Amino acid sequence: MRKISIIVGFFSLICFLACKSDKFIPTESDCPEDIVAYDTNMKAIVDLNCAYSTCHDGGGGAPGNYTSYEGMRIDIDRGIIETRVLLASGDLKMPPDYADLGPTDLSEEDLRLFICWIEGGYPEN
């Protein structure tokens, strides 16, 4: 019986620690009434967090050219944007913790807009 208590306690601790680092993920009801679109809302966020020198600028160290909607469209269609921004952790999350020229995390507002853009089907304008 003591072994079971120790095992349950261990797994409870693991679950607690795993949840402690969860990202803020807004719900669909947090989306603005206006459509969140690349041209209107997302380009500035992508330029600041993704498409800067040494990253997704078409010549940097990361694959993909996010300086335009067309450049992002390839990774949007493959599901990479949603996976890397919302679901990944560690070195796979975007923006990465090791980014030296750009931010290492999206602000809560930028993350909310990213989610609304994804839920809206990634509209361009």
Residue 90 falls inside a structural domain? yes
Residue 95 falls inside a structural domain? yes
- Cβ atoms of 77 and 86 within 8 Å: the answer is no
- Cβ atoms of 40 and 32 within 8 Å: the answer is no
* 115: alpha, beta or left? (left if phi > 0; alpha if psi -120 to 50): alpha
Question: Going along 1-125, which residue ranges are E strands?
Answer: none
Give the SS3 label for residue 88: coil
Pick from 53, 44, 49: which is nearest to 96 by CA?
49
Domain count along the chain: 1
In tens, the pLDDT along 44-86 reads: 999 998 888 888 888 867 888 999 999 999 999 999 999 999 8
Q: What is the pTM of this model?
A: 0.71
Residue 66 falls inside a structural domain? yes
Q: What is the residue range of 84's domain?
A: 26-119
Mean pLDDT of all residues in the chain?
80
